[in-house]
């Protein structure tokens, strides 16, 4: 039995199930395991840490255990495949069949794959093909973006799952600067908690729908699938009757530009009332808000109610960030540690700079520099154009003063009456960071944001 034959089989099996192929690291783990190599040995061949490789391997064995309906781990992986003679099955013949495109579940036994009967299978969109749909679970994920890649975030996923499943959180806010991976994390979260909810709905506020339109959209789906009359009930009533998971993406779009974070645009203030009503309710449902700005109600609700939480996202850890660079053809991890730090572990920024360096061939010039390239400047313009005048003044002062700045240093340039609200607002937008050292509070900003701010000042 050839190892590449086994990898091809498993790759096709995963593709049939999830619509995604095994990546190079996953295949390397399979090859190494086939050769009885341990994780540290595999890690050396992939220029990765043993801890990271072990984590990827753990998730890989968990996935295969689900697909093959048997407990699979690093020690028994090869023996189970050989014993069950699964490699006699050639999944490649199914890749272009209509069944693969609508497959809901795959039952693998020792000699065959059982696909759904095409006469009994309903067409599904791209999102619905990503995981099994339970018999009692109803989803409307038509507005959810397709997740092409996901890196790290094991700890964040664990935290979110605990808040949803154990603590029964009713209002959960995922916060972070543009590109940090808020939406990707929410997509991954749904994959892992889907079976615990009766209804799962994803809505984007990018085009700023009124609250009336949003509620009508949610009610129409739930009432239609529940065979009830939505005219007789309000949304909160459904949230009490059914365990619903509702995700609202791009919440920052309903906030007013040019003002402090969390101020609603005229006509959208009733969203705040909805968030407060959900946070104060006794339902078993949950709203997940994905936003670049923290809504003002959230801070008050977090202090008053146990079922209201927020999770600010920091940059990726080094292992996950390095995975991005390695996929773009970069060599040793240590060589690019500086760049990961300068761009704050932001996955989108790292992808953008990696593509640019690779395309231009400027690898030697970029290792110890922080460049503000045009695509990134465009992204940051979108965020900074939303700031109030005092926020721009405060962040410019911090950028000019140095790597870390105390409140007292900033007060030398900005009155206290204006400073405190501006600092709070910048923290809620994830544009500055706060840390405490020996009782002293310091504020700092990411190196690339500092370069951006200085660049904007040079234009004045």
For residue 133, what is the DSSP state?
A: P
**Helix residue ranges per DSSP H, 268-336:** 269-280, 296-304, 318-327
Q: What is the mean pLDDT of residues 100-122?
A: 35
Would you state the pLDDT for residue 59? 86
Angle between helices 447-459 and 374-384 (to 10 degrees): 80
Dihedral sign for Cα 418, 420, 257, 342, please. Answer: positive
For residue 403, what is the DSSP state?
A: S
Lowest mean pLDDT of 105-119, 183-197, 198-212, 337-351, name the range: 105-119
Maximal C-alpha separation, the chain:
76
For residues 198 and 271, state if they share a domain.
yes
What's the burial of 209, exposed, middle or buried (CB within 10 Å: 0-12/13-18/19+)?
middle
For residues 186 and 268, state if they share a domain.
yes
For residues 303 and 169, state if they share a domain.
yes
For residues 349 and 410, state if they share a domain.
no
| CA angle, residues 272, 274, 277, in degrees to nearest 5 | 110
Q: Distance (Å, rounded) from C-alpha 54 to C-alpha 38?
A: 9
The residue among 106, 115, 191, 81 whose CA lies nearest residue 147 is 191
**pLDDT exceeds cutoff 60 at 390:** yes
**pLDDT exceeds cutoff 50 at 357:** yes
Q: Distance (Å, rounded) from C-alpha 25 to C-alpha 175?
A: 30
**Helix residue ranges per DSSP H, 318-415:** 318-327, 337-342, 347-360, 363-366, 374-384, 389-401, 407-411
332 belongs to a structural domain? yes
Contact 314, 341 (CB under 8 A): no
**pLDDT exceeds cutoff 80 at 214:** yes
List the CATH number of the domain containing 170. Answer: 3.40.50.300
The values of phi and psi at residue 426, to 5°, are -65, -35
**pLDDT exceeds cutoff 80 at 306:** yes
Q: Which residues contact 311 (CB under 8 A, 6 or more apart)?
A: 156, 159, 160, 163, 172, 173, 174, 175
Tell me the pLDDT band of 129, cut-offs 50, 70 and 90.
Answer: very low
376 belongs to a structural domain? no
Would you state the pLDDT for residue 276? 92
Would you state the pLDDT for residue 412? 93
Would you state the pLDDT for residue 340? 85
For residues 192 and 234, state if they share a domain.
yes
The residue among 22, 10, 193, 30 whose CA lies nearest residue 108 is 10
Give the domain range for residue 35.
Answer: 3-123
Contact 456, 384 (CB under 8 A): yes
pLDDT digit string, tens, across residues 57-99:
888 888 888 887 778 888 888 877 776 554 444 444 434 433 3
- With b for 16 or more beta-carbon neighbours within 10 A and e for fewer, the 158-190 pattern comes to eebeebbeeeebbbbbbbbbbbbbbbbbbbbbb
What's the burial of 192, exposed, middle or buried (CB within 10 Å: 0-12/13-18/19+)?
middle
130 belongs to a structural domain? no
3-state SS assignment for residue 245: strand
pLDDT digit string, tens, across residues 406-440:
999 999 999 998 999 999 999 999 999 998 988 88
For residues 364 and 270, state if they share a domain.
no
Would you state the pLDDT for residue 234? 79
Q: What is the mean pLDDT of residues 265-277?
A: 93
Would you state the pLDDT for residue 127? 38
132 belongs to a structural domain? no
Would you state the pLDDT for residue 97? 39
Q: Which residues contact 54 (CB under 8 A, 6 or more apart)?
A: 39
Would you state the pLDDT for residue 2? 66
Tokens 């962040």 locate to 395
Would you state the pLDDT for residue 32? 87
Would you state the pLDDT for residue 47? 60
Q: What is the mean pLDDT of residues 42-59?
A: 79
For residues 405 and 334, state if they share a domain.
no
Lowest mean pLDDT of 65-74, 212-221, 394-403, name the range: 65-74
Q: Distance (Å, rounded) from C-alpha 21 to C-alpha 107?
A: 19
State the average pLDDT for the chain. Answer: 81
For residues 246 and 267, state if they share a domain.
yes
3-state SS assignment for residue 344: coil
For residues 174 and 226, state if they share a domain.
yes
Domain count, the chain: 4
For residues 162 and 260, state if they share a domain.
yes
List the CATH number of the domain containing 434. Answer: 1.10.10.10
Q: Which of 371, 389, 404 is the last residue of a domain?
A: 371
pLDDT digit string, tens, across residues 159-173:
999 999 998 899 999
């Amino acid at each position: 039995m050839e190892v590449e034959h086994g990898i091809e089989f498993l790759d096709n099996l995963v593709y049939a199930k999830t619509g995604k192929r095994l990546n190079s690291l996953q295949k390397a783990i399979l090859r190494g395991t086939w050769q009885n190599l341990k994780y540290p040995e595999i890690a050396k061949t992939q220029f990765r840490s043993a801890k990271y490789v072990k984590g990827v391997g753990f998730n890989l064995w968990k996935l295969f255990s689900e697909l093959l309906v048997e407990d699979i781990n690093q020690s028994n992986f090869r023996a189970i495949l050989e014993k069950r003679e699964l490699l006699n099955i050639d999944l490649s013949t199914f890749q272009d069949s209509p069944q693969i495109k609508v497959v809901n579940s795959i039952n693998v036994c020792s000699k065959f794959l059982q696909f759904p009967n095409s006469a009994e299978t309903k067409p599904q969109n791209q999102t619905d093909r990503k995981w099994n749909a339970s018999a009692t679970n109803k989803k409307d994920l038509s507005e959810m973006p397709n997740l092409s890649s996901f890196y790290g975030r094991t700890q964040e996923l664990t935290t979110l799952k605990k808040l949803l499943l154990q603590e029964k959180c009713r209002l959960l806010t995922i916060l972070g600067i543009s590109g940090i991976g808020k939406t990707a994390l929410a997509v991954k979260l749904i994959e892992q908690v889907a079976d615990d909810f009766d209804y799962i709905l994803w809505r984007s506020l990018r085009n700023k729908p009124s609250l009336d339109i949003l509620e009508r959209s949610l009610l129409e789906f739930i009432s239609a699938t529940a065979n009830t009359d939505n005219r007789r009930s309000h949304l909160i009533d459904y949230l009490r009757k059914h365990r619903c998971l509702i995700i609202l993406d791009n919440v920052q779009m309903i906030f007013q530009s040019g003002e402090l974070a969390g101020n609603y645009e005229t006509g959208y203030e009733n969203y705040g009332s909805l968030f407060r009503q959900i946070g104060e309710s006794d339902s078993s449902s949950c709203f997940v808000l994905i936003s670049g700005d923290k809504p003002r109600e959230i801070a008050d609700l977090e202090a008053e109610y146990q079922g209201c939480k927020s999770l600010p996202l920091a940059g990726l850890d080094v292992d996950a960030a390095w995975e991005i660079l390695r996929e773009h053809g970069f060599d040793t991890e240590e060589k690019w540690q500086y760049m990961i730090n300068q761009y704050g572990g932001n996955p989108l920024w790292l992808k953008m700079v990696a593509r640019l360096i690779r395309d231009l061939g400027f690898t030697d010039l970029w290792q110890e520099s922080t460049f503000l390239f045009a695509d990134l400047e465009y992204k940051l313009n979108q965020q900074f154009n939303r700031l109030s005048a005092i926020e721009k003044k405060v962040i410019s002062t911090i950028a000019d003063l140095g790597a870390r700045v105390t409140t007292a240093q900033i007060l030398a340039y900005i009155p206290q009456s204006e400073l405190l609200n501006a600092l709070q607002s910048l923290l809620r937008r994830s544009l500055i960071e706060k840390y405490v050292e020996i009782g002293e509070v310091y504020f700092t900003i990411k190196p690339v944001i500092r370069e951006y701010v200085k660049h904007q000042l040079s234009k004045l």
